[in-house]
Structure 1
Amino acid sequence: MSNAAQPVWDHAESAPQRTALHGTAGQSWSYAALRDHASTVAARLRAAGIGAGERVLLIAPSVPEFVAAYYGVLSIGAIAVTANTMAPAPELEYIGTDAGISLVIGWHAVSPAPAVAAAAVGVPYWELQRELAGLTAEDLTAEGLATDEVTAVAPVPAPADADTDDTAAILYTSGTTGRPKGAMLTHGNLHACASIYQRIHRLGPDDRAGIALPLFHVYGQACILATTMRVGASLSLLPRFDPHEMLAVIRDRRLTTTAGVPTMWNALLHAAGDADPADFASLRLASSGGASLPGEIKRAFEERFGCTILEGYGLTETTGSATVQVAGRPVAVGSVGAPIPDCEIAVRSLDGAELAPGEIGEVHVRGPVVMKGYWGRPEATAEVLHDGWLATGDLGRIDDAGELHIVDRKKELVIRGGYNVYPREVEEVLYEHPDVVEAAVIGVPDAHYGEEVAAAIALRPGASPDAAALRAWAKERLSAYKVPHLVAFVDTLPKGATGKILKRAIDRSLFESSTTDSTAG
């Protein structure tokens, strides 16, 4: 198995002038240029004494320079530890200490947090700048980026050899319980993910991809970046999501494929206005992940843009992939597709017994995309990995066609008066309301029922908040115990770096003044 950086060098050799990356403000790199930039970073790392297996913390937005630094790290056999650009210094310090990093590389426009964290951990800090990352092989010096001393270095002619099980990247999970854990993704994991998506979506070098997803997250890093580099296509990057800017990229770059999360598709729908659908005629495929995609948003987007949205399911621990819908194959409502090639899905009860189709239990995944384990945490690894099977912590069911339906997170299940309420089911209904733009359903403590169903709602501009009317509308479509009896209206819901709604960040005090419909049962 070759190094996960190898495709960049291969395409630079076979098609050096083919476009690899588009950034903002007209920035464009060929595959030859990307290889030279990555080789520059790799050479500087070697000159600084960074060797195979050492961890480098990389904090940068979705810009071409991130890609150069990332593949520069991987190409020498070192391990890229990627982190959120919005992470405060204490969080970066925790990651750096936990991973035992040797160096921090931070984008020049990011807050001082990376430099502060580097100092706290006691490792060097390199500032990644556009003009520095843009140096060519003819100007290989460590000036500015590597050390204060100017040291002549030689280019890296090819990526170092890597075994399938060698760790390529460590991505820290969100840490909804306890401190975040670093999922170790191997060179084999990254190759497998890219190869699988290349086959499923029939991607080739003539495709033009574009995203506003963060590359420090598994979705952008593995599912999109690694796949695009493998096939030798071009990738347009937006460092932050703005629906109007994304629409412009789709139109101006004539994208054939894009990827995002449900909140992005919803925002694009509202931003499109009366735009001419012909502007998006080149777009044939949109991949959705990161969270469940409400059926109403999927239908509206496909009708508006004339483009198929294929939903998939995966975790950081499965290199972002586990199941996916396939173009041309009928999709059952609520399905996230069948297992990706070479992978297996099982739904198990709490005692580990495999359940029959239609029964709800914990989803388990086995295959070449499953992580190596959690960095430095053998006990935590043993809790979720058994005989190659990963226990995901998600509740789901497999239908008669073999497709997976995610019901909810185990920890997000609401138990109201002894009845199980799956927030996703309720949210699907709420998104059908014409005034609802965003919805998140959670459980809040209740003296009588144990937990009460609560919904935080963002309405379309001009809509009037009316909790009683919304509850009455929902009661016509849901069993009474599933109706969100506590409703709070907000301007927008809290979101993570990918745009995924963060339920744990919803202020529970919002519901203190909300009234409960005592007749709901």
Structure 2
Amino acid sequence: MQLSVATILQDSAARFPDRTALVESDVRTSYRALWQEVLAFAAELRARGVGPGDRVAVMLPNTSDFPRAYYAVLAVGATVVPVHGLLVAEEAAYVLRHSGCTAVVSGGPLRQVAEEAAAAAGIDVLAVRTDREPLLLAEPCRPDDIAAILYTSGTTGRPKGAQLTHFNLVMNAGVCAQDLIGLTPDDVVLGCLPLFHSYGQSCAMNAALRAGSTLVLTPRFTGPGALELLVKEGVTVFMGVPTMYHALTEAAALDPRRPAALRVAVSGGAALPVPLLERFETAFDTVILEGYGLTETSPAATFNQHTTGRRPGTVGHPVWGVEAAVAAPDTDRQTVLLADGEVGEVVLRGHNIFAGYLDDPEATAAAVVDGWFRTGDLGVRDEDGFLSIVDRKKDLIIRGGFNVYPREVEEVLARHPAIAQVSVIGLPDEARGEEICAAVVPRPGTEVTGEAIAAWARERIGKHKYPRIVRLLPELPLGPSGKVLKRELREICA
């Protein structure tokens, strides 16, 4: 049996050759043209020796070159490794080395970081080229072949490579397009979500192209800019994270224009406050469907669906072919399911569950227990089957839809010569959901300011990770075992 994510684009190019696949600024690319450009760049990759079994990184902004590179890597039978666009060179180099990439495709504002990372990893940087004779056919793949490796932050301070199969991604794109959003070739989807992120990659890009819809790309999101595109391009489906909904709602308060065609909005990446949901729906005269998922679940796992009902404040029901349950959170070696109404760890199983972490069998075994993926999130399911996420089992911070683990930031800050102790927490933030706060105990005899620490950190860690808030404290609140009491620390720093 053969199945490839590249088939998503190949099939739509055959069915809707003259329809617009991508819109980037004033440039419109048809499905026929996009597929030929993908096959042309695939020919370039093959000429450079890239083929089945290889891994190629893609470090590009939200431009048409991203889908060209993404699908070209898959068309030669290789595995694509999207690299987070906000990483600094040292972090990107770790991803390139750990994944064993043979090359990285980059361009635009990310090219310099990609070149530094590639030099450290000893590999080449390639630009997207479409001037070769296109391949006649894409390389066949098996459903269980690894299509993509997406790196997600880990509690060890180093990101883990989540391996997603062709089956995982093709199924998730189909479920998103058909069952959850009901996309058609007449839909126009605003693709402002980062395409290196599983949400933007699978739910926006893959799902839109699977349905033959038009994907409108914007390299940099702003509220006014997104509102302009919603109106100008006749967008029918908007997908975003709570940060984006906040920005759009603020923009709408200053601009009376509204997108007449907008029929539905989709929220994910972090919990959407109900008051914000209500303000957006009132301002734009539409409905928001909130969902839930993780990189390891391809990502869509649960959703407020038309068929099972919508309940604001929840993440709905499991998507087609997936089961969701709540398990006792303190049982690592077995999955003990809890009754409805009890709070526990959210667990998932189905076609969307990843194939494990790259070269990390221990982390994989800890994540998948008795066939259930342990999400690390605490939730509760009501008697009607609606799932609510109530807290996080780990100290994960979600800033603007991006996952940030405190320990990773703490390990960087601990290298600052003026810092004796540091603990990183998330503080509520209306615009970004959470903001990163570093509570710092300075070394005796040193003089340092919070602004200086934030500036130092910004040069050494991704732009989505460094602490915008730094609190200088005489000591950290500690429990009997010496563990930082983060709940008390949040009260101190708020």
Instruction: Report the TM range for the smaller structure's normalisation.
Output: 0.7 to 0.9
C-alpha displacement at 1:387, in angstroms?
3.7
Aligned partner letter, 1:384: A
The match for 2:299 among 320, 325, 333 is 320
Q: Residue 245 in 1 paired to residue 225 in 2?
A: yes
> Where do residues 268-307 of structure 1 align in structure 2 (5 Å cutoff)?
268-276=248-256, 279-307=258-286
Q: Residue 204 in 1 paired to residue 184 in 2?
A: yes
Calculate the TM-score normalised by the size of structure 2. 0.80
Check whether the contact 1:79–1:170 (CA below 8 A) recurs between aligned residues.
Answer: yes
Calculate the TM-score normalised by the size of structure 1. 0.76
Check whether the contact 1:223–1:319 (CA below 8 A) recurs between aligned residues.
Answer: no
Aligned partner letter, 1:226: N
- Bigger drift between 197-206 and 389-398 goes to 197-206
- Bigger drift between 181-190 and 8-17 goes to 8-17
In the other structure, the counterpart of 2:337 is 354
In the other structure, the counterpart of 1:97 is 97
SS at match of 2:50: coil
C-alpha displacement at 1:509, in angstroms?
1.3
C-alpha displacement at 1:389, in angstroms?
1.3
Deviations 1:34-64 (A, max 9, x none): 1111111100111111110210011001111
In the other structure, the counterpart of 1:409 is 392
In the other structure, the counterpart of 2:471 is 509
Q: Residue 258 in 1 paired to residue 233 in 2?
A: no
SS at match of 2:167: helix
**Separation (CA, whole Å) in 2 of partners of 1:291 and 1:225:** 19
C-alpha displacement at 1:195, in angstroms?
1.2
Check whether the contact 1:213–1:240 (CA below 8 A) recurs between aligned residues.
Answer: no
In the other structure, the counterpart of 2:366 is 383
In the other structure, the counterpart of 1:106 is 106
Aligned partner letter, 1:158: L
In the other structure, the counterpart of 1:120 is 120
The match for 2:207 among 224, 227, 244 is 227
Q: Residue 182 in 1 paired to residue 182 in 2?
A: no
The match for 1:400 among 383, 386, 399 is 383
**Separation (CA, whole Å) in 1 of partners of 2:51 and 2:58:** 16
> Where do residues 399-478 of structure 1 align in structure 2 (5 Å cutoff)?
399-412=382-395, 455-457=427-429
SS at match of 2:345: strand
Question: Larger C-alpha radius of gyration, 1 or 2?
Answer: 1
Identical-residue share of aligned pairs (%)? 40
**Separation (CA, whole Å) in 2 of partners of 1:333 and 1:46:** 48
Aligned partner letter, 2:317: A
In the other structure, the counterpart of 1:72 is 72
Check whether the contact 2:37–2:134 (CA below 8 A) recurs between aligned residues.
Answer: no
Aligned-CA RMSD value: 3.2
5+ unaligned residues in a row in structure 1: which ranges? 141-153, 414-422, 428-439, 443-450, 461-487, 489-495
In the other structure, the counterpart of 1:168 is 147
**Separation (CA, whole Å) in 2 of partners of 1:211 and 1:288:** 13
**Separation (CA, whole Å) in 2 of partners of 1:50 and 1:454:** 42
Check whether the contact 2:21–2:34 (CA below 8 A) recurs between aligned residues.
Answer: yes
Deviations 1:262-318 (A, max 9, x none): 0110110111125446x3221011110000000000011001101111000000000
C-alpha displacement at 1:508, in angstroms?
5.0
Distance 1:459 1:102, change over 3 A: closer
Runs of 4 or more off by more than 3 Å in structure 1?
A: 274-277, 327-333, 451-460, 501-508, 510-513, 515-518
**Separation (CA, whole Å) in 2 of partners of 1:453 and 1:126:** 38
**Separation (CA, whole Å) in 2 of partners of 1:251 and 1:226:** 23
SS at match of 1:406: strand
**Separation (CA, whole Å) in 1 of partners of 2:490 and 2:124:** 58
